Structure 1
Amino acid sequence: MYAHLVIFIGSFIAFSLVLFLITKKNKKKPDVYLALFLFSIGLFQVLHYLRVEGIMKEYLPHMLRVRFLIHGFTGALFFSYISESLGLSITKVRKALIYLPAFIGAIFVVPYLLQSADFKREWEFSEFTPIAYYINYLIARGTLLLYCLLAWNAIQKKRNNLRKETHQWLAFVTAACFFSGLITSAITFVDFVIYDFVSYHWLHLSSTVLVILIAAKAIRDGHLSQQLVADSKPKSYQSSSLSEEQASDILSRLDAVMEQQQLFLQSKLTLPETAKILNESPHNVSQSLNQYRSIKFNDYVNQWRLERLIQHLEKGELEFKTLLGIAMECGFNSKSSFNLAFKKYKGMSPTQFLKSMPEKKVA
C-alpha cells in the first residue's frame, strides 16, 4: 500500500512539472524535451499502478503492456533534453538515430499488443514472462544508461562555457537518472533470475525517487524559473532577428574555434576579432552568449583560460613555474584580472584552491 502511495505521489509530481513546462510562455526546446521525459516516467508509473490494482485487467485489458512501449523512449528524451540545453549541433539523421533503439525495442512488444484481451489477461499475471519483454527491457535500460554517460561527457566538455549553477543542475539530473537506471537494471536482472513480482514495486519506486529528486533540486535552487523555464528575450534584444537556431550555431562554432585555435591564449583577444573569425557580427555573438548562456564575452573567454590553468596545475607545473606565470601563459594580462576571474567562477581565491588540491600536484 505504501509503495503504491509513493508511486502515486511520484506520478503527481511528474505531471505537475509537465503542466508547468508546457504552459510556460515562450518555452524553448529543452522545456519540451524535459516535459516529455517527465511525462513518460509519470505515465509509466500510472500504468503500473492501474495494472497491480487490477483496474487495467478488468476495464482496460487492451492497455496491458503498453508501458513497455513508453519506457523505451525515456533515455532518448533525456539525452535530447541535455543536448538541447547545451546547444549541441546534432543533424536530423543523428536525432533520428537517437530514437532508433526505442523503435527496435518496440518491435518485441508489438506482437503481444495485437493479441486479444482474453489472451492478454491470461498472460499478464502468469508466472511466465516471454523473453521478448526482457529484451525490450534490456534495450530500454541499456540505452538509458548509455545516454546518461554520453550526456555526462557532453556536460563536462561544455562546463567551462556554462554558469556554475547550470552545470551543477545538468550534472545532478544526469547522475540521478543514471543511478536510477542502474538500480532498475539490477532489479530487472534479479527478477529474470529469480521471479518475484514484488521486486517490480522497487523498480517503480526508484523512478519515483528520481522524479522527487529532480523536483526538490529544482525548487530548492530556483531552477523552476532559471533552468526548467527559459526566460523571455531581454528588452535589449526585443528588436533582434537572431533566432534560437542561429544562436545555437554561433555558439557551437565559437566553442569549436576556442578549442581548436585556442584563441583564449591571446591576452588582448576582443569580441570584434573573434566575431570576424566566425564571419558574424559582434552583436550576434554577444547576444548569443548573453541570451542563451547568460554570460558576457570576456567572462566566457576567462572560463576557457581558467580551465587551461587548472589543467597545468593538476600536472604539477607549479614545481617549475609561478602561479602568475602560468596564468599569463593562459591568457590573463594581470594579477588582478586573474584573481577576480578565479574567485568569480571557482568561488574561492587561487590560494584557497591550491590548498584544496592534493599535495603532490602543488609541490
Structure 2
Amino acid sequence: MLSDWRVIYIGGVFISLFLFIILISKRKKSIADKILSAWFFFAVVHQALIGWYAFNKMSDMPALIGWELPFPFLHGPFLYLYILFLTGQQRHGWRNIFHFTPAVLAAVLLAPVLPVMTVQEKLGAVPSKFTPLFHAMVWGIIISGVVYVILSLYLLRRHRQNVAVQFSNTDKITLNWLRYLIGGMSVIWIVVIFFESAASLYLVVALFIFFIGYFGIRQVGIFSSPLPAHEVYLPALVRLAEPEPEEAREAEADETSQKVKYEKSSLTDVEATRIHAALTALMREQQCYKDAGLTLGDLAKTLNVHPAVLSQVINSKEGSSFYDYINVLRVEALKQLLLQPGSQQYTLLSLAFECGFNSKTSFNRNFKKITQLSPSAYVKAMHINMQEED
C-alpha cells in the first residue's frame, strides 16, 4: 500500500495524462487548445519525473536525474501563451516561440554536464564544481515563474477591458478559469521561493493538476467543442483612437475634438453620420439589442464596417461606449413595454429579459445608472402595478 503523499504524486501523472487525452480528442481545436494540449503533454512528463523521485527510483535510471530542471521553464510561457491566444491578444505569430528559449538553453547547458556527474553529485550529497550552475538555474526558474505570472495578470487585465468594450452583457462572461490558472501557478512559485522541501513542491504541483482538471472540465468550451460564438475581435482592432494629451488640451469644443479624432482615424464626419444612421435604422427595425449576447462584432458584421470604426461612431455620435449604448436602448425598450396593456401580468425581470438583459444584477445596475431610479422605484413612480418576483 502506498504511504505518505506518493499516491497524490502518481495521481497527478494520471490526471495530466487524462486531461491531455481529452484535449487532443477535442474537435475543432483552437490554437489555445493546442497550446494547452502541449502544456499538458509536458506536464505528464514532468509529473512522471516527480513520481519517479517520490518513489526513490533514481538508482534504476540515474541518467535521468537532473533532466527535470528544464521543465519549470516551460510552465510560465505555456500559461502566458495560452491566455494570450485564448483572449485573442496575439500579435507576433511565430515569434512567440522565443518564450521557450530559457527551457531550450537550460537543456543545452545540461547536456554536456549531467553525463559527467556522479549520482551523488546530482543529488547534492557531495560537493560538485557544477553547483553554481544549478543554483543559477534555480534562480532562473524563480525569476521566470514570477515574470510570467505578472505578464499573465497583465493579459487578464487587458482582456477584462476588452470584454467591456465588445460585449453588451458582461455579467455571465466569467474570467474564473484564467484566474484559477494564474492563481494556481502563483501558489506553486510561492512554494518554490519560500519552501525548500521538494516534497512540498511535488505535492502542490500534483494538487494544481487536480485543480485544473476539476475546474477545466466544468468550464464550457475548454475540454469540449464550444457552441457557435458571437463575433469577437482582437483587442487591438477595437481600441478607440484617442487624441494625444496636447491635442486634448487644445480642444476647446466637442466639434474640434471630433475633428481631431476623425483626422487620426481617416473617418470623415459624413461617413460617420452615414454609419450612425444605418445603425439607428438597424436598431429600430430589427431591435438587435434584444439579443442578450450581442457584441460589437455582430453589429459591425451586419453593417459591413470595421469594428473599430463602429466603436468610434458610437463613441462620437452617441457620446457613450458600445456597452452603454446598447443598454440605454434596452432600458428605453423596457419603458415602452411597461406602458403597453397586458405587461402588468408579467414580472419586471421577465420583461427585462425580453428587452435583452441577461441577469437581474445587470438589469438593476444599468437601469439605475441610466434613469437614476431603481426599477422598482421607477415602476412605483409611474403608478404601474407589476407581478411580484418569485
Q: TM-score range by the shorter chain?
A: 0.5 to 0.7
Return the match for 2:138 from 118, 128, 134: 134
Return the match for 2:224 from 226, 229, 244: 229
Return the match for 2:305 from 252, 273, 277: 277
Query: Is the Cα–Cα contact under 8 Å of residues 149 and 182 in structure 2 kept in the other structure?
Result: yes
1:254 to 1:209, Cα distance in 2 relative to 1, 3 A = same
Query: Is the Cα–Cα contact under 8 Å of residues 9 and 47 in structure 2 kept in the other structure?
Result: yes
What secondary structure, in the 3-state scheme, does the structure 1 residue paired with 2:27 have? coil
Output the CA distance in 2 between the equivalents of 1:202 and 1:111. 27
Output the CA distance in 2 between the equivalents of 1:182 and 1:151. 15
1:2 to 1:228, Cα distance in 2 relative to 1, 3 A = same
Identity %, equivalent residues: 13
* Aligned twin of 2:246: none
Output the CA distance in 2 between the equivalents of 1:83 and 1:334. 38
Output the CA distance in 2 between the equivalents of 1:353 and 1:120. 68
CA RMSD of aligned residues (A): 4.2
Runs of 5+ consecutive residues of structure 2 not aligned to the other structure: 243-260, 266-271, 283-298, 308-319, 337-351, 369-390
Residues matched between the structures, number: 287
- 1:196-236 per-residue CA deviation (whole Å, 9 max, x = no partner) reads 4xx22222222222222222223345x2xx233334879xx
Residue identity in the other structure for 1:45: Q
Task: Give the number of the structure whose alpha-carbon radius of gyration is greater.
Answer: 2
Query: Is the Cα–Cα contact under 8 Å of residues 18 and 35 in structure 1 kept in the other structure?
Result: yes
1:272 to 1:33, Cα distance in 2 relative to 1, 3 A = closer
What secondary structure, in the 3-state scheme, does the structure 1 residue paired with 2:70 have? helix
Aligned ranges for residues 1-363 of structure 1 at < 5 Å?
Answer: 1-55=3-57, 57-92=58-93, 94-97=95-98, 99=99, 102-104=100-102, 106-108=104-106, 110-117=108-115, 119-126=117-124, 130-160=134-164, 161=166, 167-168=173-174, 171-191=175-195, 196=196, 199-221=197-219, 223=220, 226-231=221-226, 255-256=238-239, 268=280, 270=282, 271=299, 275-278=303-306, 305-306=322-323, 308=324, 328=328, 334-336=332-334, 339-340=352-353, 344-348=357-361, 350-351=363-364
Query: Is the Cα–Cα contact under 8 Å of residues 65 and 113 in structure 1 kept in the other structure?
Result: no
* Aligned twin of 1:287: none
Residue identity in the other structure for 2:42: S
Name the stretch that deviates more: 176-185 or 105-114. Answer: 105-114
Q: Which protein has the bigger helix share?
A: 1
TM-score when scaled to structure 2?
A: 0.60
Shift of 1:41: 2.6
Shift of 1:75: 1.7
Shift of 1:50: 0.8
Residue identity in the other structure for 2:111: L
- 1:66-125 per-residue CA deviation (whole Å, 9 max, x = no partner) reads 22212212121122222222222412365244x1xx423553564333235461512222
What secondary structure, in the 3-state scheme, does the structure 2 residue paired with 1:114 have? helix
Query: Is the Cα–Cα contact under 8 Å of residues 330 and 355 in structure 2 kept in the other structure?
Result: no
